[in-house]
């Protein structure tokens, strides 16, 4: 896909979302998923409440904040933001089935990783797991991720979007350059 077409496609996704409903965001739903799991193990984790304005409360301070808005989403998983994120996966899957497959690409160890660290799956999976911890911890501390802060935020000229992008790239550029530096250079 050409750069211009790709730009217009991605722009349409962000634009339609804000025109029709609200800006796109993803990382909150990892918390909602965790909350759903916790609540299924311990039914008292999220309960109905008369104290909170949303009508739900949680033992967890984070789910309980802002009037229990995350607690409410945990109690009602069929809500806009959660379904949106599940639908993203379906959309990507459909797209991948409709396009030509990249048969040369290994689905376990990406080429750029393999060139530097070899084909060991365990090594790649371990780093991907640890990176996942950092990415979601960081996203929640920041209150958003690449979609919510960087794209939706900068689209709306939100100061927070610029601050997030500065932090993310300030760390990501040197880490990527150093980690994946070609041997002998």
Partner 1 sequence: MEILLAVLLGGFFGFALDRVGANNPNNIINMLKLTDLRLMRIILGAIGVSSILMFGALSLGLMDVGHLSIKEAYTGVFVGGLILGVGFALSGYCPGTGLTAFAVGRKDALFFLLGGFVGAGLYMWSFQSIKDSFLFEKILGGKVSLGVIENSGYEAVFQGMNGNLIGIVLGLVFILLAWKLPAKLRG
Hey, which residues between 89 and 148 contact partner 1 (CB under 8 A)? 89-96, 99, 105, 107-113, 121, 124-148
Out of 14, 47, 67, 69, which residue is the one contacting partner 1 (CB under 8 A)?
14
Out of 7, 40, 42, 76, which residue is the one contacting partner 1 (CB under 8 A)?
7
Please state, in angstroms and rounded to a whole number, the distance separating the CA atoms of residues 5 and 33.
34
Total residues contacting partner 1 by CB under 8 A comes to: 116
Out of 27, 52, 54, 73, which residue is the one contacting partner 1 (CB under 8 A)?
27
Indicate whether 42 belongs to the interface with partner 1 (CB under 8 A).
Answer: no
CA atoms within 13 A on the CB side of 94: 6
Please state, in angstroms and rounded to a whole number, the distance separating the CA atoms of residues 41 and 58.
14
At closest approach, how far in Å is the CB of 126 from partner 1?
8
Reported as type and span, the H/E element at residue 183 is none
Please state, in angstroms and rounded to a whole number, the distance separating the CA atoms of residues 73 and 35.
9
Please state, in angstroms and rounded to a whole number, the distance separating the CA atoms of residues 1 and 126.
32
At closest approach, how far in Å is the CB of 50 from partner 1?
22
Out of 46, 71, 75, 151, which residue is the one contacting partner 1 (CB under 8 A)?
151
CB nearer to partner 1: pick between 51 and 123: 123
Indicate whether 69 belongs to the interface with partner 1 (CB under 8 A).
Answer: no
At closest approach, how far in Å is the CB of 48 from partner 1?
20
Residues 157-176 that bind partner 1 (CB under 8 A): 157-161, 163-173, 175-176
| Signed CA dihedral, 129, 171, 164, 137: sign only | positive
Please state, in angstroms and rounded to a whole number, the distance separating the CA atoms of residues 164 and 169.
9
Indicate whether 33 belongs to the interface with partner 1 (CB under 8 A).
Answer: yes
Please state, in angstroms and rounded to a whole number, the distance separating the CA atoms of residues 52 and 56.
6
């Amino acid at each position: 896909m050409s750069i211009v077409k790709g730009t217009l496609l991605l722009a349409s996704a962000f634009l339609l979302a804000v025109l029709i409903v609200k800006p796109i965001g993803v990382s909150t739903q990892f918390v909602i998923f965790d909350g759903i799991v916790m609540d299924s193990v311990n039914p008292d984790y999220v309960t109905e409440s008369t104290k909170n304005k949303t009508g739900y409360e949680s033992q967890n301070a984070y789910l309980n904040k802002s009037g229990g808005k995350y607690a409410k989403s945990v109690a009602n998983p069929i809500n806009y933001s959660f379904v949106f994120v599940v639908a993203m996966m379906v959309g990507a899957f459909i797209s991948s089935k409709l396009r030509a497959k990249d048969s040369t690409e290994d689905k376990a160890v990406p080429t750029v990783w393999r060139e530097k660290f070899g084909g060991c799956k365990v090594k790649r999976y371990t780093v991907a797991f640890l990176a996942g911890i950092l990415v979601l911890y960081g996203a929640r501390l920041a209150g958003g991720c690449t979609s919510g802060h960087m794209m939706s935020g900068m689209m709306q000229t939100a100061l927070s979007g610029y601050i997030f992008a500065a932090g993310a790239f300030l760390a990501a550029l040197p880490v990527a350059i150093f980690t994946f530096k070609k041997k002998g250079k």
